[in-house]
A and B are shown apart, each in its own frame.
Chain A
């Protein structure tokens, strides 16, 4: 028995020593130590949390998500009322976050690209304006900008009570409650319009693909913009009117204090969106400028000497190459914008942090569970964005043969 133990020990020592001697073996040992340390760290953190919760007589669990929330939310993309559950409130808040983040990303990209290109303009004034914009907005803390824009947007707008008589109905209004519009109620036959619209979109995609292929093969350019516009907008519109406008509108009506009915995009949404777009676009502009300047000037000169105009050179030669440099930092900005949208709580936009990590947390006292869910959401959103952008990046990657 003892002999065997001795033998095994000797063999172990021998094998450990031999493992240490080889580079690969050392690598394995490092990894094992590293993994053990990481595991230990997580174990300590988790046990610490549970220990402290137990000390304070708190129990963990997600059962509270099925309880009635009881509070109201000012803007809901899906149906919600006070008797809905906390789980439902979570979904409502999540959708509000996604709404402002997704529209913000699109607008910030458009504004950022425009300003980035403006900064490189040979026109002195245009370049200066862009430079001043960038230097101003990326150097002021975002929270201050959000609060500033909120008051700046809110103050000059009139109250509904100032513009409408009691009992008066209206189709569209932008007042200090938000963008108020008549709720469209699709009637019978409207689905046909939607079908025509999707056919128009698919047809447009096919047409532009064909036009591109033909240009590559034969060199002549087919019109793309106008035919596509006609297919996407014109065709459904004609069908819509031929069917006799199968759409009703539930108009908001002015009551004693404010309007009743209709649909509202709250004013806080616009303030938050505006602030996020202005702020993030300043960073994107610099990324775009860096990307374009990272392309050797010879490329542009070659394009000019082929007779391309400046805009064509940018669109066809410089930007496609610059995209490879632009996309990775651009992804970071998208992630930043999404995470920065959590500052919404300051101006009462009902996002995830404000509603779920705010009101729901306060009412239930479930700090650990709610913060865990909130953190997971931001992590998932970020990972999804990264994933999508990495796919795009791979498509734009320089294919070396």
Chain B
């Protein structure tokens, strides 16, 4: 074959492919336009049906934050946020294991949620005005009341954050912590230099190597990351809280039914603690006379139908298979865990905290 005819053949092939590609795209676009609004894969208003069809909840979690969402050597996830994902799965499928986890960086988490890659984001995410209003997201509640704090080496002899003048501060990008730290130092007229890493693991490594004098992130995160330092006892978390960080699960805006389900899973976990229902004793309360408990376990009322769930004992199932807030807290971040966080603000409103859920009726 001479060169010219080869070129001509190749050109023909090229045009063929180009036209084919264009045509296919056009067709798919038309099909999408006809078939509804699933432009980029994110479907608005059908999340529950989609979850039921695929048979599991796709849950966005962190890339490894002990106590909140952290995989072990075998790839099993555990933590406060993970337990929440398991509770959502239990409400829908009566099986806490029907969850798939997507470890997400702070940077991509919202885009993953918006694009429909995940169904719910439980990734120690702070509820802020901008995120709630401007980013097409909906925060359904708070599952951990946190605040940003500072960790320093004990041998620096620092007792208060106000002493931190001329410091080098390590943190990670893609979170609200950078801005909070900047606001704190500016407001107190203190000088600082911020060193912002992409991932928390690198922050820990750099802080451990002495790159920074101070490590700042949410106080729960500081407690978690301290366990990864080469000598955790040489470091301490300063008492001041420089920002409010209400962490909570997030869903896409535009699917009220799904938002309601996720919101009431969270409320159910808290209400269970109020009613003193635990995974151990809830079976014995199945036939309780207390109307509050009767509604909770599904003996009275039709809350499941209102939510679009199949099993009226959905809240019962959550407590039986996952536990109430107290149980979850104690086994993930509580005083007996390596994080050793006392309940503090996260105690029930009746016990000196601010944890509060609307009544189920």
Contacts and interface: CB of A to CB of B under 8 A. Distances in A.
Interface of A: 30, 33-34, 36-38, 40-41, 44, 48, 51-52, 55-58, 70-74, 82, 147, 150-151, 154-155, 159, 161, 176-177, 255-260, 266-268, 345-348, 350, 354, 358-359, 361-363, 365, 367
A371 B196 CA distance: 19
A374 to B, nearest CB: 13
Contacts of B42: 52, 55-56
A70 B183 contact: yes
B173 A359 contact: yes
Contacts of A71: 178-179, 182, 194
Contact of B193 (A57, A72, A354): A72
Contact of A33 (B19, B37, B107, B156): B19
10 contacts: A41-B21, A44-B25, A48-B40, A55-B42, A147-B202, A257-B213, A267-B211, A358-B107, A359-B173, A362-B107
Given A33-B18, A40-B26, A359-B173, 20 more contacts: A34-B15, A37-B19, A41-B21, A48-B39, A51-B39, A56-B114, A72-B178, A74-B196, A82-B186, A147-B202, A151-B209, A161-B213, A255-B166, A257-B164, A258-B166, A267-B211, A346-B197, A347-B197, A354-B196, A358-B198
B222 interface: no
B130 A176 contact: no
Contacts of A150: 206
Contact of A362 (B114, B173, B206): B173
Closest 8 CB pairs of A and B: A56-B136, A37-B22, A255-B166, A358-B173, A345-B198, A348-B197, A52-B39, A257-B213
Interface of B: 11, 14-15, 18-19, 21-22, 25-26, 29, 37, 39-40, 42, 44, 106-107, 110-111, 114, 130-131, 134-136, 156, 163-168, 170, 173-175, 178-179, 181-183, 185-186, 191-199, 202, 205-206, 209-211, 213, 253
A155 to B, nearest CB: 5
A260 B198 contact: no
* Majority secondary structure of chain A interface residues (helix, strand, loop or mixed): helix
Contacts of B29: 44, 48
A71 B178 CA distance: 6
Contacts of A73: 194
Nearest to A56: B136
B156 A257 contact: yes
Given A40-B25, A255-B165, A358-B198, A176 B136 contact: no
B230 to A, nearest CB: 11
B196 A348 contact: yes
A94 to B, nearest CB: 17
A37 B179 contact: no
Contacts of A56: 42, 114, 136, 253
